Amino acid sequence: MAITTAQSPFRIDPLSGLRIDLQAQALVKINAVLAVVFLLVGGAAGLLVALTRWPAVHLLPADMFYMALTVHGIVALMVWIIFFEIAVIYFVSTALLSCRIATPGWAWTQVWLMVIGAAMTFVAILQGNSSVMMTSYPPLEAAPHFYLGLILFAVGALIGCFVFWGTLVIAKEEKTYEGSLPLIVYGAMVAVCIAVFTIASGAIILIPTFLWSVGLIKSIDPMMYRVIWWAFGHSSQQINVVTHISIWYCIAGLIFGAKPMSEKVSRTAFLLYILFLQFGSVHHLLSDPGLSSVWKVFNTSYMMYMAVLASLIHGLTVPGSIEVAQRRNGYNNGLFEWLRKAPWGNPVFSGMFLSLVGFGFVGGITGVVMSVEQVNMIIHNTIYVPAHFHGTVAGGTTLAFMALTYFLIPVLFQREVIMPGLAKWQPWLFGIGINVFAIVVMGAGTLGVPRRHYDITFAGQALAHEWPGLIYMMMTVGEIGAVLAVVGGALFCYIVVGSILWGKKVPADAKCIVAPPADAGGHKEIGAGGFEAPGTFILAMVLFVTLVLYYFVNFKYLATLWTLA
Amino acid sequence: MSNEPIEQQTVLQRILDDINLIMCLCLVVPTVFYTLWGVMEVATIPLGK
């Protein structure tokens, strides 16, 4: 059904009941489709990296390996993720606020700039003289259009942020919502704030680096570059954290009718992210000699823990809100009936919950521990680091984005998901694969396997090193996990593209798939032992004990490596 | 004049709802404690002779 207003045409979506601006819908669709296309490219490059890292296969020659690693890093860590994030912020600001999108012309400029920028950087890498990896540390020098592409991409993303901000202003002016912003939109707003800091930091360092590449600047100080680049490189991953947590809240509401256990606590946790999350950038610099321990410890071991507290709050309140909703809906027996009876066959839920568990237990815990200056010495510049961020960005963010996509296909594209049987298993395949990769390869990193190097044995070099058989076994199992994840990712791309192209059209009279609020007429006496969500409390305690144990295991290991008289 | 009680917002709620203030905090806090402090540390390393 389409409703035309004086300013913009809307339609009421039968599946979600959302009032959707058609211009915003087109923009969300194009950003989401481009994201999936780039996920396919990034995933293919990731497969080549995995098959080269797999000791028995060692597929690519060295030059091709570094090229594939650069493509994989930039496309999978930045291009796919940021295109999808733009789709998310446009979707939540228009559909959830029932508002038209601000300056659609500028929004299309965002699309074009990001496409052109990504294409320029991609071409520069494929030309073979820009295999500088995602970090592109000077004095490694890429072709000028490598940096220019990144700058254009970032400018496009910044325009997307301004369009989102303008939409919030319009929604407030036109009173499309009352009171505070809905929590999910609030989370997206926090992600956009971090994105603006991220892009500004990127501009500060990438513009001079571009000028250096064309010969207008004599040199770039490598240490200065590292400090500022990480305000861009790591903060871009913090945008992901905030966005996927907003998606967790969103999916909990859509599937269960769950409401946050305390809106104010959740919003305060988002405020902690605003104040403290970006200090995590320092953990890339903990072994840099020119920076003082005061700066390092202040940023990581003090300030960043406030952001960790915020993550623990979200990790408690999201499953807690699901538990409360499930108990109100009648699943009130024992500690975990609410979880056993959850819709595990629905990829929207399973993807979201696997993202939550994987991000907490794999990506989150290891991120906290590696941010301790002393422990960081064990794993710095080892393959532990990429394994860790695959736990956050792939196991956490990508899986959450996949889960939301299964909701957006029928609601925005108005198509049924093809091959529902395979779609049911896809999040499991991707989630299990990526977590096997992350956990096992982190083990290899802890034992010293270096990151980035084409050949971990340095065969034929002066520093050749023969590893024990355990390392080759771990790298093999880890890369099998990576291949499984790539298969899961390819399946996702196929299902999404297939659904859009030849999925059955959703009928106009389709039944609403969004759960009603769980507290409307549900069970009132819920929980046990004075807790409304006792199962979540137990799970949160398991996470906390795991974090403490892992922390002390690492210190114990450090003590065995570095004995003090 | 309305007799309805005016709902008092706490300071925290007002901060949370002020999106422009949130944006400013997000830009200023890490710029000061991470970027500027970090850049000063690098800039004050004595030059080798």
Quick check: A291 contacting B, CB < 8 Å? yes
Of A243-257, A302-316, A317-331, B5-19, the poorest mean pLDDT is in B5-19
Interface probe for B, chosen from A178, A232, A278, A301 (most Cβ of B below 10 Å), is A278
Name A6's Cβ contacts closer than 8 Å, sequence gap at least 6: none
Q: What region does A505 belong to: left with phi over 0, alpha with psi -120 to 50, or beta? A: beta
Kindly state the percentage of chain A with pLDDT values over 90.
89
In-domain check, residue A272: no
Structure tokens at A89: 């912020």
In sequence order, the 6+-apart residues with CB closer than 8 A to the CB of A407 are A251, A254, A348
Query: Would the CA dihedral through A169, A171, A172, A174 be positive or negative?
Result: positive
Q: What tens digit of pLDDT does each residue of A174-197 get? A: 999 999 999 999 999 999 999 999
Helices A183-213 + A144-173 axis angle, to 10? 150
A333-391 confidence digits (pLDDT tens): 999 999 999 999 999 999 999 999 999 999 999 999 999 998 999 999 999 999 999 99
Residues contacting A465, CB < 8 A, separation 6+: A456, A457, A458
The residue count of chain B comes to 49
**A395 in any annotated domain:** yes
Specify whether the CB–CB gap between A187 and A142 falls below 8 A. Answer: no
Q: What is the distance in angstroms between the CA of the first residue and the CA of the last residue of chain B?
A: 77
- Sequence-ordered list of residues with C-beta below 8 angstroms from that of A380, at least 6 positions apart, any chain: A286, A287
The CA distance from A145 to the nearest CA of chain B, in Å, is 26
ipTM entry: 0.92
The count of C-alpha atoms lying within 13 angstroms of the C-alpha of A427, restricted to the half-sphere facing its C-beta, is: 28
Q: For residue A499, is pLDDT > 60?
A: yes
What distances in angstroms separate CA A135 from CA A74, A299, A367, one per listed residue?
Answer: 9, 21, 19
Q: Does A254 fall in a domain?
A: no
**pLDDT of residue A245 exceeding 50:** yes
In a domain, A545, yes or no: no
- Chain B contacts of A279, Cβ < 8 Å? 30, 33-34
Show the domain range for A395: 366-516
Taking the C-alpha atoms of residue A231 and residue A388, their distance in angstroms, rounded to an integer, is 19
Taking the C-alpha atoms of residue A29 and residue A21, their distance in angstroms, rounded to an integer, is 12
Q: Rounded to the nearest 5°, which phi and psi values hold at A456?
A: -70, -15
* CATH number of the domain that residue A151 is part of: 1.20.210.10
Residue A11's pLDDT is what? 94
> What mean pLDDT comes out for the span A505-515?
91
Cα→Cα distances A302→A276, A294, A305, A373, Å: 9, 10, 6, 12
Which of A194, A218, A248 is the last residue before a domain boundary?
A194
pLDDT value for A461: 87
Q: Are A387 and A441 in contact (CB under 8 A)?
A: yes
If you average pLDDT over each of A322-331, A472-481, A519-528, which comes out highest? A472-481
pLDDT of residue B5: 56
Number of domains in chain A: 2
Which residues in chain B have their CB less than 8 angstroms from residue A292's CB?
41
The pLDDT of residue A518 is: 80
Distance from CA of B1 to the nearest CA of A (A): 22
Q: What is the pLDDT of residues A98-150, one digit of tens each?
A: 999 999 999 999 999 999 999 999 999 999 999 999 999 999 999 999 999 99
Q: Cα dist. A483→A69, A286, A522, A541 in Å? A: 15, 32, 45, 33
- pLDDT for A152-176, tens place per residue? 999 999 999 999 999 999 999 999 9
- Distances from the Cα of A239 to the Cα of A45, A208, A284, A393, angstroms: 23, 24, 17, 10
Nearest to A492 by CA among A437, A417, A439: A417
Residues A479-484: what's their mean pLDDT?
A: 98
The contacts of residue A315 (CB under 8 Å, 6+ apart) are A356, A360, A364, A540, A543
Q: What is the pLDDT of residues A108-119, one digit of tens each?
A: 999 999 999 999
Q: Is the pLDDT of residue A281 over 70?
A: yes
Residue A40 domain-assigned (yes or no): yes
Best CA proximity match to A405, nearest among A337, A499, A318: A499
User: To the nearest whole number, what is the mean pLDDT of chain A?
Assistant: 94
Rounded to a whole number of angstroms, the distance from the CA of B30 to the nearest CA of chain A is 6
Q: What pLDDT, on the 0 to 100 scale, is given for residue B6?
A: 57
In angstroms, what CA-CA distances link A21 with A105, A232, A356? 14, 32, 30
* CB-CB contact of A437 with A482 (8 Å): yes
In a mutagenesis test of the B interface, which of A192, A230, A270, A274 is the best target, namely the one with the most B β-carbons within 10 Å? A274
CA distance A223 to A217: 16
For residue A549, tell me if it sits in a domain. no
Question: In the listed set A166, A194, A222, which residue is the last one of a domain according to the structure?
Answer: A194
Does the pLDDT at position A44 exceed 90?
Answer: yes
Residue A88 in any domain: the answer is: yes
The beta-carbon neighbor of B23 closest among A196, A267, A281 is A196
Q: Which pLDDT band holds residue A6 (cuts at 50, 70, 90)?
A: low
Q: Which of A223, A230, A293 to mutate to test the interface with B (most CBs of B within 10 A)?
A: A223
**Which of A69-83, A356-370, B7-21 shows the lowest mean pLDDT across its residues?**
B7-21
Instruction: Flag whether pLDDT at A564 surpasses 90.
Output: no
Non-local CB neighbours of B25 within 8 Å, separated by 6+ positions: A274, A275
Q: What is the pLDDT of residue B1?
A: 43
Q: What is the DSSP string of A271-286?
A: HHHHHHGGGGGGGGST
Q: How confident is the model at residue A524 (pLDDT cuts 50, 70, 90)?
A: low
Q: Quick check: is A523 in a domain?
A: no
Q: How many CB atoms lie within 10 A of CB A445?
A: 26
Could you say which of A149, A177, A194 is where a domain stops? A194
For A313, list phi and psi in degrees, rounded to 5: -65, -50
